[in-house]
Structure 1
C-alpha cells in the first residue's frame, strides 16, 4: 500500500493481544500482496487482466469490490474503483485494511486501539479511563502546524481520514475526466466511525470541490468534516465542533 503503519494498543491479556498484533500486521502485508496495482502477480492486477475471476480470488476481493461499488453509488460516481478504465480499488483498500486490523485487536481483548495508516487513523475504545484518543489534523499551509485536534471523547469507535495534495501532490483523480482533480481544495479531513468509509468520503469530497463537497458531506449520517482551501479558507460541517478537543 506504499505507506507506513503504526499501532498503539492498550489493555487486554498480553499474549492474546500480541498474537492478534502479529496477525494484524500479517493481514496488512497480505492486503498489499492481493490488492497492489503495482505488483504484476497480485490478484487485483490479474483480475484486471482477465486472468482470474472474482470467484477465483480470495474472498476479501469480493468484499472490497462490493464496498467500492457502494461508495461509488453513495458518492454519485465521485469515488470510483477504476482508473483509466482499469480496475483499481486502492482508494478503499487502505481504510478497509486499517479498520480490519484495528477490529482484530479489539476482538482479542484490547481496550484501546489506535491504528494509523499513512495518517489515516482508526480508533477503538480509549487509551485509559476518562482519557480519549486525540488526533492532530495537519495544516496543509503551515508545515508542522495543526489545523485542528480531533477527540474520540464519548465515542467507542472513530476514524480520521484526510485526502489532499500537501504530501503526495496532485494524486487524486476526477473520475469524470480521468485526470487529476482540479478543485479549490488543499485538504479534506473526514471524521466518522468507520475508516473504510471515511477514506472514501474524503477522496470523493476533495474531487467535488469545497462547495459541493461540503454540502454532500453534510448530507451523510455520522460524518463530520474539515475542508481547507488553497485560499486559506476553512469550512466545516455543523457538528464538527463537538469532535474537537
Structure 2
C-alpha cells in the first residue's frame, strides 16, 4: 500500500503492507516535527529559540538533540555545513528532515514492520526488500532533464538522500562564507540511516568540488555530478 501526505512542504509517501496504526503514528510525528521545528513558522520551537525566547531548561529534548547534530556536522565539515551561516537566522532543515523521517521509519520498525519504503521528496528510507530477492529501487533525477533518471540505486535496510539545486534553486549555502554553494549540481548519498545521508549530502554540496574528496572519507557511498556534468561515484555504490 502506498499512502501519501503533504508535510514539511513536500510529499511524503509510505509504502508498507498493514500496520495502519503505526502509519498513523508516523505521519502524526512528521506533522508534529513540521509544527515544532520549521524555521518558517513564527510560533515553532525553532523560531522561538532563534529569537532568544527559550531558556535552556524550556527547550525540548528533541531540540537539544537537533542542536547537537547541527554542531556535529558543522565540526565534521569544517564549517561548510552550518545551521546558522553568516547573515542568516537559525535553520536546522539540513538535519531535521532526515532525522524526522528516520524516526518515522523507527516507529514502523518498532511496530513490527520489516518491509517498507519511506520517501520524503526523494530522500528515502528502506527496510527489507521490495519483493523477495529484489531490492528497493531509488531513482536519482538527472540534474538538467526532469523526466530523466541519471541512475537507479539498489537499497536494502538503508537510506538515500539527494541535495541539488534543480528543485529549490541555490538554497544551499557554504556555511563558511554565507554564499550560495557552487561547483556541484547534484549530490546523492547512500548511508545506513537518513539522518546521516541527508546531513552528509548537504555538507558535500555546500563544500563544492572539495566535497568530492571529503565524501570519500565518510561512512557513506556517493553519486555526485559536478558543474561540468562529470560524474563521481564511489566504488561501493550499489546500482539497481
Report if TM-score (shorter chain) is over 0.5. Answer: yes
Any idea what SS the aligned residue of 2:95 has? helix
Any idea what SS the aligned residue of 1:60 has? helix
Name whichever structure is richer in helix by fraction: 1
Give the structure 2 partner of residue 193 of structure 1: 192
CA-atom RMSD in angstroms: 1.4
Q: Which portions of structure 1, spanning 4 or more consecutive aligned residues, are displaced by more than 6 angstroms?
A: none
Cα distance in structure 1, aligned partners of 2:28 and 2:223? 33
Structure 2 length as normaliser, TM-score?
0.92
Any idea what SS the aligned residue of 1:134 has? strand
Give the structure 1 partner of residue 226 of structure 2: 229
User: What number of residue pairs does the alignment pair up?
Assistant: 232
Give the structure 2 partner of residue 158 of structure 1: 158
Question: Which residues of structure 1 form unaligned runs of 5+?
Answer: none
Structure 1 length as normaliser, TM-score?
0.90
Give the structure 1 partner of residue 84 of structure 2: 82
Any idea what SS the aligned residue of 2:158 has? strand
Question: Which residues of structure 2 form unaligned runs of 5+?
Answer: 1-7
Give the structure 2 partner of residue 219 of structure 1: 217
Give the structure 1 partner of residue 9 of structure 2: 2
Cα distance in structure 2, aligned partners of 1:55 and 1:126? 43
Give the structure 1 partner of residue 51 of structure 2: 49
Cα distance in structure 1, aligned partners of 2:173 and 2:213? 20
Cα distance in structure 2, aligned partners of 1:2 and 1:179? 24
Cα distance in structure 2, aligned partners of 1:113 and 1:160? 14
Give the structure 2 partner of residue 206 of structure 1: 205
Cα distance in structure 2, aligned partners of 1:151 and 1:87? 35
